Each structure stands twice: as structure tokens, then as C-alpha cells.
Structure 1
Amino acid sequence: MGQAKLKQQDAFARNLIEEWESRDCIDFAVALARRTGWLLHVDWWSTSSQRPSEDCKESNFYPLRVYVADNADKIFDPRGVMSIFDFAERIVRRQVRERGFNSGGVLTRFYAEDRFAELPLRYQPDEQMVSQALAEIEGHRSFLARIPSRNPSGIAAHHAARLSFGSCAVFAEAMREHAGLQPTALLATRFLPGWEGTQISKRGYFHSVVLHSDGAGEDAWGKAPLSDIASRYGVAEFVTSEEEHRTVIQRLKQTTPDVYATRYSEALSLIQEHTDRYE
């Protein structure tokens, strides 16, 4: 059977895609997140002239699309598996044009499914439509085959994401206490194409992990080669620095001691809940 015919058979029907898109793809995304364990996202339109802070409430945001993504740069959408750059170009910009937005910008946030009820989404998941979407997803095995597997016993995706962006150093410190592994910072020396504008510290700090005896690293997403972890952040070349990690931790303890203590306790609790993973 030809490759084109295989691709056509694996594609979701156009009428299904349009039905899902009419509800901002929330039913498809919830079904896929439940099936794969990957992370639910919402792209919002913000009319603020400045990028909202992370603790800014969504009450003044306008939802564009709900979707599922991995811990790197892959988006899993009814229109295909694509990079974050392709998704922004093919999907999000079209949504912005169709909604008539012209003053503001796109803001991406990730969530646990149970947070949706409190968000100003245009639609909430419909269980019947979620079930129907799941049946369609199960029937498209090639689509599922393109989605990397998550360890079903791993930390829930929304927790892992939160501990990877902003609290990775705290998670590494908690891993030091629980498993006796050495934390280290990763410092970027060269970015992958398209990631050159990533904001990092003057020394190139972008992430903290703990090191295993075989040279692999580990963060809240699990154990992996250091190069694989770095590529999730768009980094092509990097160096490690235990000293820089200690500097980051000291700064957190000095500037936001209460926040550090809270996040450390949360990280340690999650690690302890998944003890088998670290033994």
C-alpha cells in the first residue's frame, strides 16, 4: 500500500476536525491527555501591552485553542503532530486572525484537567464528546505511534512541568536528599536553530538536574541522557556546573525563602509518592 494512501487512512476525517475545532479542540485534547499522560495546554490571547506575570489570573484572557504537548517542542493536534513553531504558524495565527484580534499577544499556559472548570474557557469538556474523540484516537494507531510514551507511574505531567520550569533546581535539591544524587546546573553554549532568542542567565544557566553514575541526568520528567534533556530547552551544546547550581539555590533561599521552602516540600512529597521510581 502506498505511503500517500496510508497517510490518508491515518488522517482524522475533516468533519471531525472541524467539529473539534468548533469547541476549541477541548474534547480532543482532554481525550488525548487522558490516553497519553501528556500535558494539557491552553493558548490565550492577552490584550496587555506587557507580558502577564505567571501569577496573573486568566480572567482577562481570551482562549484560542486547547491542545496536548510533550515536555519538549512537539504538539499533538487533530491536524497532526508538529513542532511548536509549526503549530504557532499553522494553527494559532489562524485562530488569531479568525477571532479578529490585533492588539496584544499569545500566552501559553499548562494545566491539570481539573483546573479547566475554573478557567474562562469558551467550552468545558463534554464527556460524551471526549469518549467519541478517544475512540477516534484509538482507531488511528499511526497517530498514536508518533507520540512518545510516558512512564504511567511517573509524576503527573502538570506537576512535572511545574517542577521543570521555575523549580528545577529545587527538585534537584529534593532529589539529593531523597536519593543521594548530585545536582548540577546545565549551562548553554549553543542553541538549536530557532531557539537562539531563549532568555538565559549571563552564565548560560537554563536547567538543573541530578546526575546518575552512568552519566545520565534526571529531572521531574525522569531519567534521560543529558543531551536529550538539553534539547527539550532548545540547547545543542552545554556544560555542567555544580557550582552554578549551588549559586542558584543560594539565591532562591536568600530572595524568596518562603517560596523555596514551599516548593521544596512539594517536590519532596511528589518524589516520596513515587518512591519506586527512584530506588
Structure 2
Amino acid sequence: MGQAKIKRGAAFAPYLIDGWESRDCIDFAFALSRLTGWLLHVDWWTPATQRPPEGKEDGFKPLRVFVGDNRNLIFDPRGVMSIFDFRDRIVTKQIRMRGHDGPGSVLTRFYGEDKFVRLPLRYQPDAEKIKDAVEAISAHPNYLSNVPARGLPKLPAHHAARFSFGSCSVFAEALSQRTGLRATALMAIRLLSGWEGTEISESGYFHSVVLHPDGMAEDSWGKAAVEDIALRYGVAEFVTNDFEHRAVVERIKHNTADVYALRFDDAVSLIRESTGR
């Protein structure tokens, strides 16, 4: 896969970048997330050999706080870049600088703002520094022009992300019942090069959406061309299948009825509160 130019959109004064990086970019990330609606992440260094459960960050060492979109773009003070550039040129450098050269790995997790107070970070967000960062970013239209706008309607980004994987069928079912739009499954035929690790079922299922009469689709990230939604998962060619969506929902209901009910009610509440539907 090609890599984005790391300098795209970058022209912040060096003293600003140095200040933000001295606090692991937490104030910059909070400011940019509030300006754009995109998702807050933390890259952690963890010595664990197995992936710890969600919400468990014991022993984690923070590397950088950052904002990303729902595909593979990262919005860093040093530029808008692909996740691959970010890993190779930013995160790897942080690992070396912090002396994390023993066994371990980088683990990326996303959070809502309210979760940060409980995380083992080196720094907590500072209201004044966030305000200053908002002003600096807003005065840099070239940078913001390289940050794609989120689709409408907008759910809070951390909630949209929760329903991107695993629970997308539940969200599509809830949205279908609230709006009357047809829910369907997306079935992969061909993946983009480099996306061979994408999680796809034996049948080819990888995501659920609802379809609008104009041919557009909608999931937890809002309304978009169905082709663009498929590309988020690295799928270059696909078909839709209403029966497969129904089968996925019924399997979840059968296997984990309580979990399905909780997630469905959660999705309904988010749709109602965020979109009024």
C-alpha cells in the first residue's frame, strides 16, 4: 500500500509542536477532536504477550495521544499521514526515546474524553492548553483542509467506533427499525492489496449497513457511498445480501441474547439522542 506524505498539512511553528509533544500531544489531540469530531486514541506500549481485555490498562506505558478518522488517516501536529507513516516515523521513534526496547508491543485503543481521567497517562488534558491549541489549529486552515469532514448524522466518535466492528449488525438493525430503511450485509468478493488480514466470515460477511433510496448507505459513522464504507474495511469488490444480515442478527440473538438486547437498546438510545430519529 502507498504511504501518504507525512508533511501533508503540516506547517505549525516548531515551538508549538515541541510544546505539544512534550505532553504526549494530549492537548493537541483534544483540541483537534473537538474541532473535527474525529476519534481520540492512545498508543500504548505493553509488555503483555496477549491482548488485555478492554478497559484494562494496568502496566501500560503511553506513547502518544492522537486523533484518527474511521479509515487509516492520523492527524498529528507533524502532519496528516497514513497509519503506516505514523507507526514508522512517529511511534517507532517514541518507543526508542522511552527505552521500550525489550519484549512487548504497541496497542492502540480509542476513548471518549471522559475516560482519560482513569487512564495511566503521563499527563492529563489541560483546559487552557487545549484552548490555546484550538486557536492555533483554527488559525491554520491548510492543516484543517487536509482533515476530511465526518459524515452526517454524527454520533460521538467513540460510540461510532464501538459499533464499527462486532456490533455493526446490531446498529444496522436498530437503525432499520427506527427509520424503516432496509438493513443489509456487505459480502466481500475482493480485498485491496495489503488488507488480507481483514476479519471476514467464511461466507464473506464483513459489515452491515442500511440502504437509503438514493443508493447511499449508513452505519454508525453516518451516511456515505456504500463503496466508501467497504473501502474502510479494505474491500475493493462486494455484494449486498439482506438474508445474510438477518442470519447474523439471529445468530447473535441465539448465542448471546442478553448482550444483543443491551447493545440494541444502546444503539437505539444513541440514534435517538444524536439524530432525533
Q: TM-score, normalised by structure 2?
A: 0.92
Deviates more, 1:61-70 or 1:145-154: 145-154
Deviations 1:67-97 (A, max 9, x none): 0011111110001001111111111111112
Q: 1:191 to 1:8 in 2, by over 3 A?
A: closer
**CA deviation after TM superposition for structure 1 residue 155, in Å:** 1.1
% identity of equivalent residues: 61
Structure richer in helix, relative to its length? 1
Residues 102-141 of structure 1 show CA distances to partners (whole Å, capped at 9, x for unaligned) of 3111111111111100111110011121111111111111
The 3 A distance-change label for structure 1 pair 153 and 196 is closer
Instruction: Determine the structure 2 residue equivalent to 1:33.
Output: 33
In the other structure, the counterpart of 1:192 is: 192
SS in 2 for 1:11: coil
Pairing 1:78–2:62 present:
no
Runs of 4+ in structure 1 displaced over 6 angstroms? none
Counterpart residue number, 1:114: 114
* Match of residue 4 from structure 2: none
Q: Describe the SS at the equivalent of 1:231.
A: helix
Q: Could you tell me how far apart the structure 1 residues matched to 2:24 and 2:193 are?
A: 30
1:10–1:141 CA contact under 8 A, matched in 2? no
In structure 2, the CA distance between the partners of 1:25 and 1:152, relative to structure 1 (3 Å rule), is farther
C-alpha contact 1:190 1:237 (8 A) present in aligned 2: yes
Q: CA-to-partner distance for each residue in 1:197-229, whole Å, 9 max, x for gaps?
A: 223212222111011122211101111111010
- Which blocks of at least 5 consecutive residues in structure 1 are unaligned? 1-6
Q: Mind listing any 5+ residue stretches in structure 2 that lack a counterpart?
A: 1-6
Distance change >3 Å, CA 275–CA 18, structure 1 → 2: closer
Aligned partner of residue 164 in structure 1, secondary structure: coil
In structure 2, the residue matched to 1:96 is 95
Alpha-carbon separation, structure 2, partners of 1:225 and 1:144:
23
Equivalence for 1:234: 234
Contact 1:37 1:152 (C-alpha < 8 Å) held by counterparts:
no
Report the more deviating stretch, 246-255 or 31-40.
246-255
Specify the code of the residue in structure 2 equivalent to 1:146: N
How far did residue 22 of structure 1 move? 1.3
SS in 1 for 2:214: coil
Aligned to 2:142: 142
Give CA-to-partner distance per residue, 1:175-218, whole Å, 9 cap, x none: 12111111111122222232222232122221110111222111
Q: Note the C-alpha offset of 1:52.
A: 2.4
* Pairs within 5 Å for 1:205-224: 205-224=205-224
Structure 2 CA distance, aligned partners of 1:213 and 1:10? Answer: 40
Deviation at 1:274, TM superposition (A): 3.4
1-side partners of 2:82 and 2:203: how far apart? 28
- The alignment covers a number of residue pairs equal to 270
Matches within 5 A, 1:268-279: 268-276=268-276
The 2-side partners of 1:81 and 1:236 are apart by: 24
